[in-house]
Chain A
Amino acid sequence: MSRAWLVAGCWWLAVGALHGQDARQIVAESQTRGQSKSQQYDGTLEVIGSTNKISLKRWVYQRIGSYGASKSILRFTAPAEVKGVALLIVNHTDRASDQWMWTPALERDRRIALQDRSTRFFGTDFSFEDLEERDVNQFDYKLEGEDTFDGQPCWKIESKPRQGKSSQYTSSLLLIRKDNYVVVEISNYAKDKLVRRIHYSDVQKQDDIWVARTTEVSDPNKGSRTVLKLEKLQFNVPLKEESFTLEALRRE
Chain B
Amino acid sequence: MSRCGVNSCLCCGAFFWLSFLSAQDFQQRGFIETGLTVYPQTAPNDSSHAVGDALLRYQASYKVRPWLRISGALDARYDTHQQVERSLALDWQDRSLRRPLLALRELNATLSKGKLTAELGKQFIRWGKADILNPTDRFAPKDFLSVTDPDFLAVTAARVVYDTGSDSFDAVWQPRFTPSRTPLLDQRWTVLPESLEGVTLRDLGSIFPGRSSFGARWNHIGKGYEVSASFYDGFNSLPIFQAVSETDFRRLYPSLRLYGADAAVPLPWFTVKAEAAYYTSPDKQQDEYLIYVIQFERQIKELAMVVGYAGDAVTSYTPGLQFSPELGFARAVLARAQYTIDSTRSVSTDVAVRQNGAGSLLRSVYSQSVGQHWRVTTGLAWLRGVSSDFLGQYHRNSYALLALRYSF
Interface on A for B, CB 8 Å cutoff?
Answer: 47, 49, 53, 55-56, 78-81, 83-84, 95, 98, 104, 106-108, 110-111, 113-116, 118-120, 122-124, 166, 224, 241-242, 244-248, 251-252
Contact = CB atoms under 8 A, between A and B. Distances in A.
Contacts of B369: 55, 79, 81
A234 to B, nearest CB: 17
B82 interface: no
Interface of B: 27, 29, 31, 59, 69, 110, 112, 114-115, 117, 119, 124, 126, 129, 131, 152, 161, 163-165, 168, 219, 221, 223-224, 226, 264, 266-271, 297-299, 301-302, 304, 340, 342-344, 369, 372-373, 375, 405, 407-408
Nearest to B226: A111
B407 to A, nearest CB: 4
Given A119-B299, A119-B340, A242-B114, 19 more contacts: A78-B372, A79-B369, A80-B31, A81-B407, A84-B29, A104-B59, A110-B131, A111-B129, A111-B271, A113-B270, A113-B299, A115-B268, A116-B304, A119-B301, A166-B268, A245-B164, A245-B168, A247-B117, A248-B112
A31 B69 CA distance: 37
B224 A95 contact: yes
Contacts of A115: 266, 268-271, 298-299
A124 B302 CA distance: 12
A79 B126 CA distance: 25
Contacts of A78: 372
A118 B343 CA distance: 15
Nearest to A94: B223
A79 B269 contact: no
Given A81-B405, A241-B165, A242-B115, A49 B343 contact: yes
Contacts of B31: 80-81
9 contacts: A80-B408, A81-B31, A84-B29, A113-B266, A113-B298, A119-B299, A123-B343, A242-B163, A251-B110
A95 B268 CA distance: 12
Contact of B297 (A56, A84, A113): A113
B168 A247 contact: yes
A98 B407 contact: no
B112 A251 contact: yes
Contacts of B114: 242
A101 to B, nearest CB: 12
A245 B29 CA distance: 24
A108 B126 contact: yes
Contacts of A81: 31, 369, 373, 375, 405, 407
Nearest to A117: B299
B372 A80 contact: yes
A116 B305 CA distance: 11
Contact of B223 (A95, A118, A248): A95
A55 B344 contact: yes
Contacts of B373: 79-81
A80 B32 CA distance: 12
B163 A111 contact: no
Contact of A118 (B112, B165, B266, B301): B301
A55 B271 contact: no
Nearest to B113: A242
A251 B375 contact: no
A115 B268 CA distance: 6
Nearest to B166: A245
